[in-house]
A and B are shown apart, each in its own frame.
Chain A
């Protein structure tokens, strides 16, 4: 997980349980990494060029922030399964090479509204084939707040 141009790269990093993630600082300024997510709480500073490895032993979503730059946000998604994928910017993703068997498909996105979370589907794979799962969110995504460099104050609403 790199910190570059005052942003975490990548924004979402799915890993399997027990995987170590190396945090790097490619910027010329000091950064900080913190997590208050239950699967793994930590925080540390990273100077220029410095790196540090964190091993995630528990499954779950770990949200990362930078204490120095409030707009920086990244997620390490710690999974118990080896079968996962991420969509591109076009919203498509292909999960291939799945052996036949019964699966449960689960969708996650950091900005899906709380009320729509846990979108999932059961799937049986029996032979070679191709299955398409089209998901349409009923609610809009939560706002992307990483661009909010200038804090916005709410007045009397």
Chain B
């Protein structure tokens, strides 16, 4: 996790590591070169120390030898040698041991040995005796190093004078000590350097004496030696050495080289100790840095973390989160800003919440809020084993008021209803909760109330809403239908309880009951209606409907030039559904507008198809009241006609009397537009509404359709007969065509002809049929000239 804390820590650690690495490197370099320099100096001094040691030994030996050379007893023995050699040898050996020499020798001037005694290991060694005396005739003590077989011998030759102060020696007295491993070890003790003595004349480096261990010694034996005074690095048996060599041949009869070595590892021991100390300091520093960085970063991150927690709480909806009171610089600013943000969010959320849960017209809680409250109330009631009732209130005839008096009046009405319900809620002291569920639908919740009490409460609501309302100086009297559902009687789920109350409300409205309780059987009906609506919408979208056509007979000419398009719906599950059933539903839900456009599109297509078959027919299409409020319709229709190369004259648009009269202003505008395009406008079901002649005159109407109820009765009822006749006369006097629907008998047609009606439509003229069947029939009629009636 890349926290601030770990970043700070990492930063300090990296910084420290860099500093320590650089320091270590610098110290390492300095110490390395210093140590190496010391080793080189040490090696250089080593050879001098060896020389000093050899000289010192030589002096000691010479001193001993010179004293011995004056010893009377030895002299006696020497001169008795011829008679008693063994005595001389024993005496010499005795002196040798006393002087701690490894060998003692008496040489005659010609180089031959007079007497010889030595350590057992040297007894068999053959000494180059002649070379010792011959080379230098001076009668002085001298020191020589000789290599004899595998031994290095340091010899001191002392002239043996008889008498002691004789001008020339009679013999040479030789004392010798070996230069052996012991000697090399002594050198090492003195100098700290390993020493090896090597005879360079031999093929392989024969190490004659050394302080080295056997493995290193063997490893050195096969190496080439460095030049004198040069210092080289050499790895021997896994150990690195610095070494140099010194030629001892000057003091030696035989060639001899001293090799001095210093183990790098040993030499750098001090340096290593220093490195270890630095490392220890580093580790301690790292520890301190970690602690320090943690402390510093905690100082920053702890308030940040608690701010983060506060922010999470705010995100989770808790606006009362405690913010850490940090006065320190930026963190303090952040805390204060977060506090401000918290308050702002709280205020805004309250505003949003109000918008989300309240209706903006009436200010009452909306459906969502009502559902939530219902849910809460049900749970509370369930806990306390209480009952509760919910009411759905719908205003009667609201749609009519809205349509005829305008939306603003409707809104004023809703406001008034809202305030009355609110007043009721206030008076109840919270015992009743009200809401606007949408449109003209209101809800009321009665906690702790059973069915009977709920009814009386609903009645009170009805009474209150039934009092006249004054809006825009119009006195309105409206009534409400109320549906009731109760918990636990009808269910425990707020959604279904609300829907059940709605169903009960529809029942109350349909049956003029005023108030109704939910019954499950009624529910089935309402579900059927609801599913029908969605099925219809799908059918419109998927061309699941069909059109049939019913002919209209021109009574005067007995020709058929007009047909009415009638929609048919073969429901995939329910079978044929009557338009009388689905059209009102479509009108309620607004689907009717899509339905109308589908019918128009299909009809236009059919006109084109008939044209191609040689039939010229004007098609009448039923328009809904909603279509007369659809300002887009004329433009849409113009495009449709243009695409099909048809004139609007091919269409008759039938509108009911009621739909025009509901909102004459808007309807007239749209009808004017449609008429000006060339479409024929027909008033359907004429005689059932309350249209005034003035209004009729202002409308661009071309045709009146007498309602079928009058046509059916006209041969039997004088009143119906009168209505038909006066309608025909009225129509003609206004210059309108008159169409009679529901013509079922020959007598009907005859009477209509007599009355001067222009067009007749009905089963007697022709049943609604498929476009193909209609086309066939009409084509036959055209050929044969056959007639109806």
Contact = CB atoms under 8 A, between A and B. Distances in A.
Contacts of A34: 72, 75, 163
Interface stretch (B59-67, B297-305, B306-314, B679-687): B59-67
B76 to A, nearest CB: 8
Contacts of B382: none
Contacts of A154: 62, 140-143, 158
Interface string A44-77: 0000000000000000000111110011110000
Nearest to A109: B167
Interface in A107-157: 110-111, 114, 141-146, 148, 151-157
A156 B55 contact: yes
Given A36-B75, A41-B79, A67-B72, A153 B66 contact: yes
Nearest to A151: B66
Given A153-B59, A155-B59, A156-B251, A72 B168 contact: no
B165 A73 contact: yes
Contacts of A153: 59, 62-63, 66, 141
What interface size band does chain B fall in?
20 to 34
Contacts of B117: none
Contact of A144 (B59, B142, B143, B167): B167
Interface string B477-490: 00000000000000
A156 B143 contact: yes
A18 B163 CA distance: 23
A53 B229 CA distance: 67
Contacts of A63: 162-163, 166
A56 to B, nearest CB: 17
A137 B78 CA distance: 33
- Counting chain A CB atoms within 10 Å of each CB, the highest count among B141, B158, B167 belongs to B167
A142 B140 contact: no
A156 B165 contact: no
Contacts of B62: 153-155
Nearest to A41: B79
A151 to B, nearest CB: 6
A35 to B, nearest CB: 8
B167 A110 contact: yes
A157 B165 CA distance: 21
A152 B168 CA distance: 15
Contact of B165 (A41, A148, A155): A148
Contacts of B161: 145
A36 B78 CA distance: 10
A71 B79 contact: no
A64 B164 CA distance: 9
A73 B166 contact: yes
Contacts of B294: none
Nearest to B250: A156
A142 B167 contact: yes
B58 interface: yes
A98 to B, nearest CB: 30
Given A36-B79, A41-B79, A151-B66, A156 B164 contact: no
B54 interface: yes
Contact of A145 (B78, B165, B251): B165
B70 interface: yes
Contacts of B158: 154
A49 to B, nearest CB: 23
B573 interface: no
Nearest to A34: B163
- Counting chain B CB atoms within 10 Å of each CB, the highest count among A34, A41, A72, A152 belongs to A34
A89 to B, nearest CB: 18
B136 interface: yes
Given A36-B75, A153-B62, A156-B58, A65 B162 contact: yes
Nearest to A141: B167
Interface in A68-101: 70-73
Contacts of A146: 165
B574 to A, nearest CB: 139
Contacts of B168: 114, 142
A92 to B, nearest CB: 22
A157 B163 contact: no
- Counting chain B CB atoms within 10 Å of each CB, the highest count among A36, A143, A151, A153 belongs to A153
A9 to B, nearest CB: 15
- Counting chain A CB atoms within 10 Å of each CB, the highest count among B63, B142, B164, B251 belongs to B164
Given A70-B70, A156-B54, A156-B143, A143 B167 contact: yes
A73 B161 CA distance: 11
A146 B138 CA distance: 17
Contacts of B55: 155-156
Contact of B140 (A70, A110, A157): A157
Interface string B137-164: 0111111000000000000001001111
Contact of A65 (B58, B66, B163, B167): B163
A151 B138 CA distance: 16
B164 A65 contact: yes
9 contacts: A36-B75, A64-B163, A110-B166, A153-B59, A154-B142, A155-B58, A155-B59, A156-B251, A157-B140
Interface of A: 34, 36, 41, 63-67, 70-73, 110-111, 114, 141-146, 148, 151-157
Closest 6 CB pairs of A and B: A65-B163, A154-B141, A142-B167, A70-B164, A156-B143, A154-B140
Given A65-B162, A154-B62, A155-B58, 8 more contacts: A36-B75, A63-B162, A152-B140, A154-B158, A156-B55, A156-B142, A157-B140, A157-B143
